[in-house]
Amino acid sequence: MPRVTDDELIDYVLGVLPASRAKAIAHAASTDPELAATLELASDVAGAGRTAPPPAGQIVPHIPPTEPMYFSRRQAFALGGTVLGVGALIWGGREILRDRPLMEDNFDDDWLDQRIWSIKRTRPEVREIDGQLRLTNRGSVTTQSQFEEPITVTFDWMWIDLKGDPHYSDTLTVALRSSGTHDSSRPFEVVDGCRISLSTTGAKVEIFRGAEVNPSSRTQIGAVPIPPSEWHRVRITDDGHWIRVYLKGPKIDRGYWERPVLEAECPDLFTERRITIYNRERTSDVDHESRIDNFKVSRLQR
């Protein structure tokens, strides 16, 4: 649908937008987290002119024509001692939303919120415990929402050494622009999307496109040592064409948080825009475990 203008946003909140356009905006908001957040903020602003606040959790309720309003479409009103027009408030809200996450989960309630995550593979273990997401033996989670580029994905990651043999250390994969569907045969990789592989065995990063077996781009072996039981910070950006990976950790070059440790072109070949995270499958009767915390999806600032 065309971009929602500020004027349309105001009219939508005030309940004077034509019904067909209002319906189209409401439908778009159900699949667009950024638009939904914008509408929610605009609804909060409009709530200043209501006789009662909107119901909790309701996104942008229309103001019924019979309900009194204390401001008109272009009437300025005082908020926090500052006189601002409704349009200016919504413009300011858009600026605030530049830094507002599209999705965020700190995994601090000991249950995986399946309103925002889905589990595509049921046999491997996926648990939220001790304030972390624990993935075992190709444990995999996929976002319920889809995220249009440009986006930034950030999270903390730690892997657990269950074997004491470097050949059996873990690998974490993040798939962007994905459906989250895994191949039914070993090694059970996701079949679509741009896949970023963080290999602790080779201390390297690789980027794959779709079902590719060979990476389209990779670092040198040993470029990013990732010791077990240590938290590492991961940032991945996707501008719709280029994927860039940034890392921070106790043994990683500090420069790799400011400049990408790896980047690769990933053309728009895929239809879905979900994000999937999964770890290494069980191999030779050896378990693999990774832990995730502070997961966030934000709008990439150009």
Q: Go through the chain and tell me how many residues it has.
A: 302
* Same domain as 273, residue 147: yes
**For position 81, what pLDDT does the model report?**
40
Place of tokens 């996104």: 59
pLDDT tens digits for the chain (302 residues)?
A: 557 777 777 777 777 778 888 888 888 887 787 788 777 777 665 554 433 443 443 344 333 443 333 334 444 333 344 334 445 555 555 555 556 899 999 999 889 998 999 998 776 789 999 999 999 998 999 999 999 999 999 999 999 998 888 788 999 999 999 998 888 888 888 989 999 999 999 999 999 998 888 899 999 999 999 999 999 999 999 999 999 999 999 999 999 999 999 999 998 889 899 999 999 888 888 899 999 999 999 999 87
Structural domain total, the chain: 2
Picking from 97, 128, 154, the residue at the C-terminal end of a domain is 97
pTM: 0.69
Measure the CA dihedral 35/41/42/44, to 10°. 150
Q: Are residues 231 and 291 in the same domain?
A: yes
Q: Does 188 lie in the same domain as 43?
A: no
The SS3 call for residue 301 is coil
Helix (H, G, I), strand (E, B) or coil at 263: strand
Evaluate whether residue 65 is within a structural domain.
Answer: yes
Residue 1 domain flag: no
Tokens 């996701």 map to which residue? Answer: 190
On whether both 158 and 272 belong to a single domain, the answer is: yes
Last residue of a domain, one of 70, 97, 124: 97
Query: For residue 35, which phi and psi values (nearest 5 degrees)?
Result: -65, -40
Quick check: helix, strand or coil at residue 152?
strand
Indicate whether 68 and 128 sit together in one domain. Answer: no
Decide if 62 contacts 15 (C-beta within 8 A): yes
In this structure, are residues 192 and 209 in contact, taking their beta carbons and an 8 Å threshold?
Answer: no
Q: What is the pLDDT of residue 70?
A: 39
Say yes or no: 74 and 120 in one domain.
no
Assigned domain for 201 exists: yes
Does some domain include residue 114?
yes
Beta-carbon contacts of residue 14 (< 8 Å; ≥ 6 apart): 46, 63, 69, 73
223 three-class SS: coil
Token pair in block for residue 235: 């940032």
pLDDT, residue 89, reads 52
Do 167 and 268 share a domain, yes or no? Answer: yes
Of 65, 97, 129, the residue that ends a domain is: 97
Look up the domain containing 200 and give its range.
104-299
